[in-house]
Structures are given as structure tokens and as C-alpha cells.
């Protein structure tokens, strides 16, 4: 493998602008949270201190914890990052992936709690960590750890079978306005962003979300099989989970949750906004470290994940999985988590699901 691109440490905000693909760059329809966090990063880029990667580096194998079973989207994300890191020798020691499913992420986070100040332990995170905290399903929150980076966004799609009488977003909304339980939706969890983002979009579309009919499944494959088998009317799941079924003509996608249309089999699928609903939502993936990491440890991992985001291999992985690059460093990641926590808390309060005040 060749040497990865040099990384200009002094201006990560400008770096982020250069990496956004032309066909999926930031536009007027970008979500409020992303725009605000980008502006904050731009303002702070010239004054934020930069810590040279050489001031700290791992001295033993690094444990990367995934709170899901092997084979899922989270696990696949980490293994593709591991492949890029190894190919370009971005880290001098092995990255050891450890799957710790169960307890709504608590089992995985227990290991991070026990590693206070240790930069050799990382945890893959997503919006599900925030919703689990709000639902009272875990005692831990994002402020109990050290946010390091967000590396990508995965947008959702609403899907039906080809023979479904639901022909469009407008058709779906009209049915649900008359009867909120008229359609059954399959999602990966009834407390995660898979469901809460659907509820948020439908609420903006004038639907009484407290009476939605939804069924939770362990993962994307189970959701797809339930739809294909006629057990549910629609799904709301990540685009990578449905692409093969869409290509095979076994599903129709009514809407995608991104700020603009996607590519490949989703190129002709409208966004929620095109359907008259001002909603953008994603299941982002990122990393946290243990509490009390030093600035040098944080800087080291920011640099690693920034270089991953710049690599051609990662960009190819993004396109093949219908993911979107959205790198942000530690400070911007913390701001985004803080903002999304409040948004998700409001949605879950409306649904009667919030357990925290």
C-alpha cells in the first residue's frame, strides 16, 4: 500500500469540506445539527490547540469494543476501519476487535468504565447510545466518556413490498393521518435512532406518533425478512440493509432520510423533504475513549481517524455501503452528541419513552 495522504493538522474544518463528495456535499437541506457543528468547528479551527501524534502513542494492542454481535453494521464498520488502519500502518500496534453485545450497550461500556485514563481501549458509538441512556436502559451517558471522532453517517429508508398499495410518501402520510396504526413498521429497536428518527419524521408529517404500530427486530436482515414474508407493512432501516432487495426488485423504497438523494439503486428515491416533510436523520458511527484521556491521547486518535477518513479505501467502503463521510474531531463530536441528546430526548418524551429528566 502507498503512503496515506498527508494530513494538515492546523485546519480540520477545511479538511472536512474538501472530502465531501461533489454529489453529496453540504447543501441548504443539511440538518440543523450538522450545520451548527460545522460552523462551530470552522470558528474554532484556528484557535483549537493541536497535539502532535508523536507525544503519545499506544504501547500495547488496542481493544476496540463493539456493542453488537459479529456481522452487524457496527461490527462491519469497525472491521473495515481496522483494514484501512492496518493497510496504511496508521497504528503501530494491533487493533483487537471485541464484540460485547447485550444490556443495551452497558456490557460494552462496563469495559470502558474500567479503563479510565487508558488510551488503549476504544468503543464504537452511535445514536443508539444516546437513546438507551434517555430510555433508562443503561446507567451510562456520553458525558461519562471521552468523545474522539465521528467517522460516517448512514441514512435510513422507508421500504414496502413491490405489491404494496402504498405508492409514495404522500400516500403513506395520508393513510397514517386517518389512522396512525394503519401500517406496521419494522425497525431495529423501539428505543434506538432507527425508530426515533422515523417517529420524528412522521410527527413533522402531521402523524400522531403515540399510536404508531411498530415492531422491533434484532437487526436489518430480520427486518427485511419480516417485510418480504408479509409480516409487516413497511421497514425503516439503514440503506445498506435493503440495497440488494431493492436491486432484485423485492422492495420499493419510498423515502430516504438524507439531506439529498443518494446514489446507485437509491438515485431515484426522493428524500423526506421532497415529500413535504422537513426531516433529516442518520445513524452515525464514531468512537469514544475512557474518561480522563489526556489531550495527547485524544489528539493521537483524532489524527488516526482523520487519516482513515481521507483514505481511498475508506471512501470506496462508504460508496459500497451507501454510507456518507462525516468526519468530526473530538470537540465537534462532543457538540454534536450534546445537541442530538436534546433532540432525541424531546422525541422520546413525546413518545412517552424518556426516563431521564
- pLDDT at position 9, please? 39
Q: Phi and psi for 106 in degrees, rounded to 5?
A: -65, -40
Mean pLDDT of the chain, nearest integer: 84
- pLDDT at position 341, please? 93
Nearest to 7 by CA among 92, 93, 88, 115: 88
> Please, what is the angle between helix 312-321 and helix 73-87, to 10°?
160
Q: Are 245 and 224 in contact (CB under 8 A)?
A: yes
Q: Please compute the mean of the pLDDT values over residues 212-237 and round it to a whole number.
A: 88
Q: Phi and psi for 153 in degrees, rounded to 5?
A: -120, 140
The pLDDT tens digits for 67-124 are: 887 777 788 899 999 999 999 999 999 999 999 888 888 898 999 999 999 999 999 9
Q: Please compute the mean of the pLDDT values over residues 246-263 and round it to a whole number.
A: 95
Q: Please compute the mean of the pLDDT values over residues 133-144 and round it to a whole number.
A: 91
d(CA 253, CA 246): 7
Q: Where in the chain is the domain with CATH 3.40.190.10?
A: 156-275
pLDDT at residue 7 tops 50: no
> In this predicted structure, which of 32-41, 79-88, 220-229 has the lowest mean pLDDT?
32-41
pLDDT band at 218; cut points 50, 70, 90: confident
> In this predicted structure, which of 121-130, 187-196, 258-267 has the lowest mean pLDDT?
187-196
Q: Are 227 and 161 in contact (CB under 8 A)?
A: yes
Fold designation for 12-154+283-350 = D-Maltodextrin-Binding Protein; domain 2 (3.40.190)
What's the whole-model pTM score? 0.79
Most confidently predicted of 5-19, 61-75, 110-124, 237-251: 110-124
The pLDDT tens digits for 37-69 are: 443 444 343 333 444 445 899 999 999 999 887
Most confidently predicted of 44-48, 132-136, 194-198, 328-332: 328-332
pLDDT at residue 23 tops 80: no
- pLDDT at position 42, please? 40
Q: Where in the chain is the domain with CATH 3.40.190.150?
A: 12-154+283-350
- pLDDT at position 35, please? 39
Of residues 193 and 61, the one with the higher pLDDT is 61
Q: Please compute the mean of the pLDDT values over residues 264-287 and round it to a whole number.
A: 94
> In this predicted structure, which of 5-9, 141-145, 271-275 has the lowest mean pLDDT?
5-9
Bridge-partner residues for 324, per DSSP? 153
Burial of 248 (0-12, 13-18, 19+ CB in 10 A): exposed
User: What percentage of the chain carries pLDDT values higher than 90?
Assistant: 64
For domain 156-275, is the CATH number 3.40.190.10? Answer: yes
The pLDDT tens digits for 277-296 are: 999 999 899 999 999 999 99
Amino acid at each position: 500500500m502507498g503512503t496515506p495522504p498527508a494530513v494538515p493538522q492546523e485546519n480540520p474544518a477545511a479538511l472536512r469540506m474538501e472530502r465531501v463528495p461533489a454529489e453529496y456535499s453540504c447543501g441548504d437541506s443539511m440538518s440543523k445539527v450538522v450545520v451548527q457543528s460545522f460552523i462551530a468547528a470552522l470558528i474554532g479551527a484556528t484557535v483549537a490547540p493541536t497535539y502532535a501524534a508523536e507525544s503519545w502513542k499506544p504501547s500495547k494492542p488496542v481493544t476496540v469494543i463493539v456493542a453488537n454481535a459479529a456481522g452487524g453494521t457496527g461490527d462491519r464498520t469497525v472491521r473495515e476501519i481496522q483494514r484501512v488502519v492496518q493497510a496504511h500502518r496508521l497504528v503501530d500496534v494491533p487493533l483487537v476487535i471485541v464484540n460485547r453485545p447485550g444490556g443495551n450497550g452497558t456490557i460494552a461500556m462496563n469495559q470502558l468504565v474500567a479503563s479510565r485514563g487508558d488510551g488503549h481501549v476504544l468503543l464504537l458509538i452511535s445514536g443508539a447510545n444516546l437513546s438507551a441512556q434517555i430510555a433508562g436502559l443503561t446507567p451510562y451517558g456520553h458525558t461519562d466518556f471521552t468523545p474522539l471522532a465521528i467517522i460516517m453517517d448512514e441514512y435510513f429508508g422507508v421500504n414496502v413490498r413491490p405489491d404494496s398499495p402504498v405508492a409514495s410518501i404522500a400516500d403513506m402520510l395520508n393513510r397514517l393521518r386517518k389512522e396512525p396504526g394503519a401500517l406496521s413498521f419494522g425497525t431495529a429497536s423501539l428505543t434506538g435512532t432507527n425508530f426515533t428518527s422515523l417517529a420524528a419524521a412522521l410527527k413533522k408529517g402531521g402523524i400522531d406518533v403515540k399510536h404508531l404500530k411498530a415492531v422491533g427486530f434484532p437487526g436489518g436482515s430480520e427486518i427485511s425478512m419480516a417485510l418480504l414474508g408479509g409480516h409487516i407493512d413497511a421497514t425503516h432501516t439503514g440503506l445498506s440493509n435493503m440495497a440488494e432487495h431493492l436491486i432484485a426488485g423485492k422492495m420499493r423504497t419510498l423515502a430516504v432520510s438524507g439531506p439529498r438523494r443518494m446514489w446507485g439503486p437509491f438515485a431515484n428515491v426522493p428524500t423526506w423533504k421532497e415529500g413535504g416533510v422537513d426531516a433529516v436523520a442518520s445513524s452515525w458511527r464514531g468512537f469514544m475513549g475512557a474518561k480522563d484521556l489526556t489531550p495527547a491521547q485524544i489528539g493521537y486518535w483524532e489524527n488516526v481517524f482523520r487519516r482513515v477518513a481521507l483514505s481511498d479505501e475508506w471512501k470506496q467502503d462508504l460508496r459500497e455501503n451507501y454510507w456518507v463521510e462525516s468526519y468530526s474531531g473530538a470537540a465537534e463530536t462532543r457538540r454534536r452528541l450534546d445537541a442530538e441528546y436534546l433532540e432525541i430526548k424531546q422525541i422520546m418524551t413525546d413518545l412517552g419513552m424518556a426516563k431521564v429528566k
